[in-house]
């Protein structure tokens, strides 16, 4: 079943979803109309704060906990607060967010709270060695936290190779391996990377890395990780082909094997999601631009997510008729 839009009095997107203390928390981006013309670098996504939302039950009301972090309060801020995520460890909640610094380079920051609904206090500097966008935090069964991140085009991933900035950002040729999302273990205090980020390689059905020209399947942005029946499911957006796809692996580093489409294209340019198990059912939270008709003003909704007996995921299609 595909449900309607959850929040009607503001535009929200990029939903990260987690269950904390038996309650479902949604950590979205807060879209605004900044009056900036649309372009391929996403300048029109000029978001300036975050709100947190929560629900007792998916059929119940949604609570807006108000503004929990403002770009004005982040010491290293330039512009554009994009997709965030939250992790819990040792009594603290850590909000991870991408933001351009004063040189217009995306970095990943962290802000801390005692409560899942914030407010969150930002650290003075971005995470050392961080770059690009869309941090997603995943806690494995042994308690280790991993971050998955990266995004092409406006997300600047094409400006890096082996975690180093290159002189001229470019994507590989169509027949070369695609640029990968990154995966990295977090430090014990959750404020740093514990190691160098690694490539999260997605293989095709023949065991070959997806190529850069395979726009229907290669990674673009919007990393998410969930675990089901002992397998690791990495899901992501294909960007300019507007699909949410997934790949399965045996550990958080992969390699992962491409398996299929979770969500067919929705109204809007971007597609982005969070997957969560809540009260013994699985859900896909995602956004579309149906209510506004504008790519930069998005609204969050959700659908039941079905894992078939063989571990594959049923493809969801929103019927806009």
Least spacing, CB of residue 176 vs ligand FUB, in Å: 24
- The full DSSP string for 61-91 is -EEEEEEEEEGGG-TT--S-----EEEEETT
Least spacing, CB of residue 68 vs ligand FUB, in Å: 17
Least spacing, CB of residue 251 vs ligand FUB, in Å: 25
When the beta carbons of 12 and 190 are compared against ligand FUB, the nearer one is 12
- Determine if 200 is a binding residue for ligand FUB (CB under 6 A): no
Least spacing, CB of residue 267 vs ligand FUB, in Å: 14
Choose among 280, 283, 287, 286: nearest CA to 306: 283
Q: Are 16 and 27 in contact (CB under 8 A)?
A: yes
- Determine if 45 is a binding residue for ligand FUB (CB under 6 A): yes
- Determine if 272 is a binding residue for ligand FUB (CB under 6 A): yes
- Determine if 134 is a binding residue for ligand FUB (CB under 6 A): yes
Q: Are 107 and 122 in contact (CB under 8 A)?
A: no
Instruction: Among 46, 83, 199, 214, indicate the residue that binds ligand FUB (CB under 6 A).
Output: 83
Looking only at the bridges linking them, the beta strands covering 106-113 and 121-122 are antiparallel
- Determine if 222 is a binding residue for ligand FUB (CB under 6 A): yes
Q: In which element (H, E) is residue 222 found?
A: strand 221-228
When the beta carbons of 41 and 306 are compared against ligand FUB, the nearer one is 41
Residue matched to tokens 């594959």? 312
Question: For the sheet containing 106-113, what is the strand order?
Answer: 85-89, 92-100, 106-113, 121-122
When the beta carbons of 134 and 214 are compared against ligand FUB, the nearer one is 134
The count of C-alpha atoms lying within 13 angstroms of the C-alpha of 211, restricted to the half-sphere facing its C-beta, is 7
- Determine if 14 is a binding residue for ligand FUB (CB under 6 A): yes
- Determine if 288 is a binding residue for ligand FUB (CB under 6 A): no
- Determine if 199 is a binding residue for ligand FUB (CB under 6 A): no
For 128, the token pair is 């050392």
Least spacing, CB of residue 57 vs ligand FUB, in Å: 27
For 69, the token pair is 């972090």
Q: Residues with catalytic annotation?
A: 14, 221
Where do contacts with ligand FUB occur on this chain (CB under 6 A)?
13-14, 29, 45, 82-83, 133-134, 151, 221-222, 270, 272
């Amino acid at each position: 079943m595909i449900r309607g839009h959850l929040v009607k009095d503001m535009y929200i997107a990029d939903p990260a979803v987690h269950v904390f203390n038996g309650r479902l928390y949604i950590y979205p981006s807060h879209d605004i109309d900044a009056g900036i013309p649309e372009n391929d670098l996403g300048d029109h996504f000029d978001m300036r704060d975050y709100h947190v939302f929560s629900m007792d039950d998916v059929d119940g009301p949604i609570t807006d906990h108000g503004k929990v972090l403002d770009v004005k309060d982040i010491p290293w801020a330039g512009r554009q607060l994009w997709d965030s995520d939250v992790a819990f460890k040792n009594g603290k909640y850590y909000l991870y967010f991408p933001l351009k610094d004063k040189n217009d380079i995306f970095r990943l920051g962290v802000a801390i709270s005692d409560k899942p609904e914030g407010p969150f206090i930002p650290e003075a500097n971005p995470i050392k060695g961080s770059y690009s966008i869309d941090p997603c935090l995943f806690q494995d069964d042994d308690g280790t936290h991993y971050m998955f991140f990266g995004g092409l085009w406006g997300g600047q991933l094409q400006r890096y190779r082996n975690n180093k900035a290159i002189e001229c950002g470019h994507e590989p040729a169509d027949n070369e391996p695609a640029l990968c999302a990154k995966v990295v273990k977090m430090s014990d205090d959750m404020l740093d990377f514990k190691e160098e980020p690694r490539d999260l390689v997605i293989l095709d059905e023949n065991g070959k890395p997806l190529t850069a020209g395979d726009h229907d399947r290669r990674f673009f942005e919007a990393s998410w990780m969930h675990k089901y029946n002992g397998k690791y499911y990495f899901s992501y957006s294909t960007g300019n082909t507007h699909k949410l796809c997934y790949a399965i692996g045996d550990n958080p580093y992969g390699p992962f094997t491409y398996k299929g489409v979770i969500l067919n294209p929705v109204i809007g340019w971007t597609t982005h999601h969070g997957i969560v198990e809540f009260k013994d059912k699985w859900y896909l939270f995602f956004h579309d631009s149906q209510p506004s008709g504008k790519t930069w003003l998005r609204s969050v909704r959700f659908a039941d997510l079905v894992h078939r007996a063989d571990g594959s995921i049923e493809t969801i299609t929103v019927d806009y008729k």
